Chain A
């Protein structure tokens, strides 16, 4: 009986190896025209938001800090962004936990993977501060958010709630607003 089980295991290990390798092969073969992942593209958007936003404290900032919520699904892609500069300032990336001090953030990305109750707490913790609030949570603009990322036809778009932006003293570049799918409170 034991011997039988054993042969099963080895057969399976071989199968596992084959599956793994053929998957690798798929990866190699289809590499040509494929685009970036959603996570990568989201980060590129966040970087552009950093580029096209004016903070009231302006030149007093030595660097621009991009904060992402604790459960945001970014991995190694964050490293691509950490080497960039925006508005001649170094970009710093921080993954922060709910309840952590957000005052150091210029931009806060709240992933929709966060708990619904949590997202409300994030918003409360940043209320009236000059922090650009971005999320991919549907309905984000109705609950106090500033920029919402949304997927349409496999492309990433964004919508802006300008009322929420202006009330904190932030200014968005008109170039950015032109490309938004929708701008409220213009």
Chain B
């Protein structure tokens, strides 16, 4: 180990000595044309399969949008997208899509990826979007959202959609950046970034950050008015630490990331003691992958990837128990999940057949450890201890066939094996894409997807839950029609019509008389239908205007709460406006999000709310310095959201107006 250390210090010094050769690039520009045709290229060309080529009404957000609106987390950015909505229960952030969200469920029905790598963990199959997400916002080049069930290429858990976050490269930073951010609720973030592309083509990126926020200093919960007057004080603390590295050399890309987030729970979930400082959660995720992406022949692209992930969660829940005949003894309960998984991906993309563009591949994942553990610390008592391992395998093929000059038929299928269920799953997708007129494209799409029960739904065995070895996969069938009009001049108008049928949904049986009481059973049935309409215009000056409206009607059955589904607003209207000021020295971003009334789990009606965020940012660095100021919830609305299933409250009040100031120095 010691020898390794010495080597690493030596190599570090060596790298630092390497001179920067930016002037070489300028020499290239002065080279005569006849010499230019003989210059050898250092890296082979890239022929990357773009996820937007999948048949879907894709929505893309860019680094520019992130800077224009001052989004703090991936959750903020996703909340800006047509059809998506985010709910925060002061523990985690949850994503709803097209009128579907089950309060209490994790983000296991949306696939979250970073540069095409699946980020959903191997215990809850959940994808993080808040401070617990892998990336800092400064690293994001693009966020692609593909609505609808996307299992055919992307794999399991893509029931409601796929979110692929594409990172920047070292050359996008071209040097170092130091960043500091501070704001209301004792919030601060510091960050250091270094990115560079060397003249041999090696591109490196290193980013590290630390975030901390005291959160709301005092939160009032009428349900707990008998304890401390119902006030939870200094219980909303959040902290996160992140490290991310990326290196690209020729056809190889390495990613490595680590995130640790700590969050106090002011809501006294899972029957814990109200206003007790020791009530918190900690989530740690880490991964690394090595990707080889090469054009192996003229019309053939090969992608190979190997990966390894870790996930560790633990939560401390203080509660009153009766110990040795003595009642009301404060006991700490320790709840945790430990997971480790690794695997590989193989993908071929080809265009050698006229009018066809095909892709085929194999994904393999070995869940090496899927452990759930729950015990009381003192007196020591174990409630749940289970561990599993097993394989997940997916084989897929997709073809984009240009039937006519203006007509594309996109077909695909995916066959999945998952160690949690006995049967292989076959899911097809089919899409017709028709360029009806030069600026008008129409799409008709059908697809299906599945989700196997996760180990939490299979094995978890503490008070309030029962394991169920017999639960099976959930299914979704989604139908969609899309009409997109791009008449030019930066105008884009889009409308969609969709129908999502979710069947055999895993829900917890709440009927005490039932033999499956407290187990997760395949009993839910959801039907979500609706339409979306969005219009946007981008001006050359940098001005931007975008308006979207999503209308849904989601009906639930078999869940104990039949009819209009909880946490499903019928209407969502989102407005985004960017205005360049003082000759584009500053940019003003206005974000206004309207979320219609919705039901809680207990069937109470929560009022509709408006969320308006204002951001003012220096659009170009001033002596290397960039700055931005954002006012979140400018209208100071103390709006309510539905609480999750394990919270004894029914609704939660969200934060009012907050401010954040950010400064970045580049060198």
Using a CB–CB cutoff of 8 Å, the interface residues on chain A facing chain B are 1-2, 5-6, 8-9, 12-13, 16-31, 34-38, 40-41, 44-45, 47-48, 52, 71, 73, 75-77, 79-81, 84, 94, 97-101, 104, 113, 115-117, 120-121, 124-125, 151, 154-157, 175-176, 179
| Contacts A9-B284, A35-B40 given; does A77 touch B25 at CB 8 Å | yes
Is B404 interfacial (CB-CB < 8 Å)?
A: no
CB proximity of A137 to chain B, nearest CB, Å: 11
Known: A34-B200, A84-B29. 18 other contacts (CB 8 A): A2-B314, A9-B258, A12-B310, A16-B243, A21-B11, A21-B15, A23-B247, A30-B200, A34-B42, A34-B201, A35-B42, A40-B28, A41-B28, A71-B50, A75-B169, A100-B540, A115-B53, A121-B439
Asked whether, in the complex, the Cβ of B314 is within 8 Å of the Cβ of A36, the reply is no
Asked whether, in the complex, the Cβ of B172 is within 8 Å of the Cβ of A97, the reply is no
Asked whether, in the complex, the Cβ of B286 is within 8 Å of the Cβ of A9, the reply is yes
Asked whether, in the complex, the Cβ of A99 is within 8 Å of the Cβ of B171, the reply is no
Identify the 8 closest CB pairs spanning chains A and B, nearest first. A24-B15, A25-B11, A27-B202, A34-B200, A28-B18, A75-B171, A76-B174, A99-B486
Contacts of A156 in B (CB 8 A): 36-37, 39, 41
Contacts of A9 in B (CB 8 A): 258, 284, 286, 310, 312
A180 CA to B169 CA, complexed, in Å: 32
Contact of B37 among A1, A24, A80, A179 (CB under 8 A): A179
A25 CA to B245 CA, complexed, in Å: 15
A35 CA to B206 CA, complexed, in Å: 24
| Contacts A31-B198, A47-B29 given; does A16 touch B288 at CB 8 Å | yes
| Contacts A76-B174, A84-B29, A156-B39 given; does A28 touch B52 at CB 8 Å | no
Is B340 interfacial (CB-CB < 8 Å)?
A: yes
Asked whether, in the complex, the Cβ of A155 is within 8 Å of the Cβ of B39, the reply is yes
Interface centre among B44, B198, B314, B439 (most CB of A within 10 A): B198
Asked whether, in the complex, the Cβ of B488 is within 8 Å of the Cβ of A101, the reply is yes
A26 CA to B15 CA, complexed, in Å: 8
CB proximity of A183 to chain B, nearest CB, Å: 14
Quick one: CB contact mask for B12-35 with A, threshold 8 Å, 1 for yes? 101101100110111011010110
A38 CA to B46 CA, complexed, in Å: 9
Smallest Cβ-Cβ distance to A1: which chain B residue: B338
A24 CA to B249 CA, complexed, in Å: 10
Instruction: Report how many A-B pairs have Cβ atoms within 8 Å.
Output: 210
Q: Quick check: which of B489-497, B611-619, B651-659 contacts chain A, the rest being far away?
A: B489-497
Contacts of A21 in B (CB 8 A): 8, 11-12, 15
Asked whether, in the complex, the Cβ of B340 is within 8 Å of the Cβ of A8, the reply is yes
| Contacts A5-B310, A34-B42 given; does A115 touch B50 at CB 8 Å | yes
Could you jot down 30 A-B contacts, CB within 8 Å?
A5-B310, A5-B338, A9-B258, A12-B288, A13-B243, A13-B258, A16-B288, A19-B256, A20-B204, A22-B7, A23-B249, A24-B12, A25-B11, A28-B17, A30-B200, A31-B200, A36-B39, A37-B197, A41-B36, A45-B36, A48-B33, A98-B486, A100-B488, A101-B490, A104-B540, A117-B433, A117-B441, A151-B41, A154-B41, A155-B40
Smallest Cβ-Cβ distance to B334: which chain A residue: A2
Contact of B373 among A1, A41, A157 (CB under 8 A): A1
Which residues 455-475 of B have a CB within 8 angstroms of A? none
CB proximity of A18 to chain B, nearest CB, Å: 5
Smallest Cβ-Cβ distance to B295: which chain A residue: A151
Interface centre among B45, B284, B288, B492 (most CB of A within 10 A): B45
Asked whether, in the complex, the Cβ of B490 is within 8 Å of the Cβ of A80, the reply is no
Contacts of B37 in A (CB 8 A): 155-157, 179
Contacts of B398 in A (CB 8 A): none
| Contacts A21-B8, A117-B441 given; does A2 touch B204 at CB 8 Å | no
A153 CA to B564 CA, complexed, in Å: 63
Contacts of B201 in A (CB 8 A): 34, 37
